[in-house]
Amino acid sequence: MKRQIARHYLPVYILVFIFFSISRLEGQTRQQERPNVLVIITDDQRYNTIRALGNPEIITPTMDKLVNEGTAFTRAHIMGGLNGAICQPSRAQLLSGRSLFHLHKDGQYIPPTDTTFPELFRKNGYLTFGTGKWHQDKATFRRAFDTGDDILFAGMNPPATGGQFRPRLNHFDSTGTYNEPFWGDHFSSIYFADASIEFLKNQKDSRQPFLMYVSFSSPHDPRTAPTWYGHSYAPSDVSLPVSFRPLPQFDNGELYIRDEMLLPYPRTEEAVRIELANYYSMVSEVDFQIGRIIDELKKTGKYDNTIIVFAGDNGLNVGDHGLLGKQNGYESSIRIPLIFSGKGIPKNRRIDQIVYLNDIYPTLCGLTGVPAPESVESYSLTEAFGAQPKAFKGRDHAYFSYINIQRVLVKDGFKLICYNVNGNHPVELFDLDKDPNELTNLAEDPGYKARVAQMTAQLKQTMKSHNDFCDMDQPNWGSFQKWSWDHVQTLNP
């Protein structure tokens, strides 16, 4: 009797088995069709440091390939920060999609209510990997990544402890405690590239989509690139910045921060050329390591199904306007490289519209079909990848803030910079289309009086819409002294 029942239901069993087998295969296929994501971030790399985007003096073959095989946003901006380490709030905005004045402790930590994009992709079935510089809290890293290696929980590699050649790193710790750091014995970028390559080798036969967050500490100082790979530059190989000045034109409120003290005042042409040559060497060095990662991506067969994002976290002056650092509103500081390449991205396309670094988050969501959480305030750039890129209008303006001493508005080809320094309030206005190096201040020109008034009014309105802690209608913007780091941490704890 049992054998008769078994024979009777055998066709049903076979059909059920076939159905579930097909469903499983379809599920695996759908999972494999989901694109992988590789996000590469460099540290202090300004917008005009890629040969393919117009700098004939620098050697960047890997970045050039990303430009030629992808879409470059040539007017990508950051929103600034409330402390000298601009990379901290800049990276927090990138990770969370939040705007500057909605960060907590200026991006020092990211609360669980602000879901980071690695965390979001992890929740949506991606295997997430992190390596390199992490300038936020360890709890956020734990929520974001399934695995990783050679993690730098710091803002930089200090010269006093060995600099780039002796990074203080951490192996991945699933508990999130990270209480066993180790000192590296070779250049930081090699560690981050090696960790990325090892991860890719392990994923060669996996069908699970992955997201990699690779965060280099180059070309941040100390600028001591090895000479045996990449490309080294002599001071005679680089041009003096067009906007070079021995001294800044006036006190911008941050002339004696660490970045600015890397060279003495007044700056000399020789010293700036040396600094710029070292900076270019660091860019070429990290370009070499990025190339190693992409080569491995191709070897594993994952390249054609991967979206690659390359960006800098903020810019750097390196001699422009008599300045060296990023604590200012000039183009070299607030503009960054931003490139999308890989699956679904048009090749050799340039987009000259204003965008922000934190627009990467919703763009990745749009490209992969992962819904963005409500906490994300930035905008998707996916329209720029369509058949009609001119339909993409970008942002109406760019807005930059630094502590409570500088505010910037970029709109319609003009830039307005307002200062609040020890009771002084100088103003700068530049016509960026005619004067891209910001050499001529038009703020006192009677012919531009109306534009200054118009842009000042919009700047005030923008500050209010972003919940800026300053009010330009109040004496000294509502504070009679420059904010300290202790004070900044209390503004949105």
Inter-residue contact 401 to 80 (CB < 8 Å): yes
8 pLDDT tier (thresholds 50, 70, 90): low
How many CA atoms does the CB half-sphere of 291 hold within 13 Å?
15
Q: What is the mean pLDDT of residues 115-138?
A: 98
| Among 428, 404, 407, 400, residue whose Cα is nearest residue 480 | 404
Rg of the chain (C-alpha set): 24
Grouping H, G, I as helix, E, B as strand and the rest as coil, residue 147 is strand
Q: Are 130 and 121 in contact (CB under 8 A)?
A: no
What is the Cα–Cα distance from 462 to 456, expressed in whole angstroms? Answer: 10
Average pLDDT value over all residues in the chain: 94
- Report pLDDT for 33: 83
Give per-residue pLDDT as tens, 57-85. Answer: 999 999 999 999 999 999 999 999 999 99
DSSP letter string, 252-305:
-S-SSSGGGGGSPSSP-HHHHHHHHHHHHHHHHHHHHHHHHHHHHHHHTT-GGG
What is the number of helices (H) and of strands (E) in the chain? 11, 16
Residue type, 36: N
CA dihedral 79, 81, 82, 87 (to 10 degrees): 170
CA 108 to chain centre: 16
- Is there a contact between 324 and 343 (Cβ–Cβ < 8 Å)? no
pLDDT tens figures, 355-412: 999 999 999 999 999 999 999 999 999 999 999 999 999 999 999 999 999 999 999 9
Element (H, E) at 65: helix 61-68
Q: Are 382 and 366 in contact (CB under 8 A)?
A: yes
pLDDT tens sequence across 238-258: 999 999 999 999 999 999 999
Which residue type sits at 139?
A
Q: What is the pLDDT of residue 473?
A: 97
Task: Provide the percentage of residues in the chain whose pLDDT is more than 90.
Answer: 92
Is the pLDDT score of 4 beyond 90?
Answer: no
